[in-house]
């Protein structure tokens, strides 16, 4: 009877020791992870922001190039020329309905696709944080998520530059700013990804038009889109 009691007591103590050892190992692993995360937080935030920026830039570029390939961003459909009786261009006017439609459509496409990016695509292997070329891309992955913020916007603007004798190059430029919140384990950071694309252009041959209809669609100028501006600034 006594032998059985001591045997069970010894067996119970061994179980307690194994359990205590497991708890200590787990606590040590969590402590190391927390310390490492704290020490590497700036590097982790930088890598996550870079990965998010690259992903957003790719999405924006694809959305714009798709719109160009589908013929939605054609110069003739966005602006028109006014000419005098001798056929000389006197003014360049914009199709504001087309600009506003494209601005909204492209931004909606970008934000939708950004929201569909998986955490796996953005995750960062722990080995990459060490800076070692041998460990890069190895080890468990740290989850990175992103959420778009309300300050994201798309705007069209124009640029007139001299292109030779009696020639003026007119470019239509689309600027897209996407603000995202980068969600990481234990903390959050934010970044703004800005891209500009020349979506249409032409060379106006002949004397410089006296006026053009300004069509930048940024909040500062919205509402003045039908105002005529003197090209030479006079």
pLDDT tens per residue across span 53-64:
999 999 999 999
Average pLDDT, the chain: 77
Task: Tell me: pLDDT of 16 over 80.
Answer: no
Domain boundaries, the chain: 1-39, 41-230
Q: Which residue has the higher pLDDT, 156 or 219?
A: 156
Taking CB atoms within 8 Å and a gap of at least 24, the contacts of 157-160 are 157/215, 157/216, 157/217, 157/218, 158/212, 158/214, 158/215, 158/216, 160/212, 160/231
Query: What is the pLDDT, as a whole number, of residue 143?
Result: 81
pLDDT at position 217 over 60: no
**Using one digit for the tens of pLDDT, what is the confidence trace for 37-93?**
666 778 888 888 999 999 999 999 999 999 988 888 888 888 888 887 777 777 788
CA 76/CA 105 separation, integer angstroms: 19
Q: Residue with structure tokens 């020639």? A: 167
Rounded Cα gap, residues 215 and 222, in angstroms = 8
Long-range contacts of 212-215 (CB under 8 A, 24+ apart): 212/91, 212/92, 212/93, 212/158, 212/160, 213/91, 213/92, 213/93, 213/94, 214/94, 214/158, 215/79, 215/94, 215/96, 215/99, 215/156, 215/157, 215/158
Mean pLDDT of 4-28: 68
106-151: pLDDT as tens digits: 999 999 999 888 887 888 777 666 666 666 667 677 788 888 887 8
């Amino acid at each position: 009877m006594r032998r059985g009691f001591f045997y069970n007591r010894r067996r119970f103590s061994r179980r307690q020791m194994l359990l205590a050892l497991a708890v200590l190992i787990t606590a040590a692993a969590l402590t190391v992870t927390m310390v490492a995360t704290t020490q590497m937080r700036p590097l982790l935030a930088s890598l996550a922001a870079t990965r998010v920026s690259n992903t957003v830039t790719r999405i924006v570029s694809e959305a714009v190039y798709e719109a160009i390939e589908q013929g939605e961003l054609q110069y003739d459909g966005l602006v028109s020329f006014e000419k005098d009786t001798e056929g000389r261009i006197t003014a360049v006017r914009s199709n504001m309905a087309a600009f506003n439609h494209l601005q909204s459509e492209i931004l909606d496409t970008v934000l939708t696709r950004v929201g569909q990016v998986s955490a796996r695509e953005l995750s960062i292997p722990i080995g990459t944080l060490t800076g070692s070329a041998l460990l890069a891309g190895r080890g468990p992955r740290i989850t990175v998520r992103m959420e778009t913020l309300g300050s994201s916007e798309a705007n069209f603007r124009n640029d007139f530059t001299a292109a030779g004798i009696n020639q003026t190059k007119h470019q239509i430029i689309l600027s897209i700013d996407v603000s995202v919140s980068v969600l990481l384990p234990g903390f959050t950071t934010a970044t703004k990804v800005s891209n500009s694309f020349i979506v249409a252009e032409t060379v106006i041959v002949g004397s410089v038009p006296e006026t053009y209809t300004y069509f930048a669609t940024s909040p500062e100028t919205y509402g003045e889109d039908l105002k005529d501006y003197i090209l030479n600034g006079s």
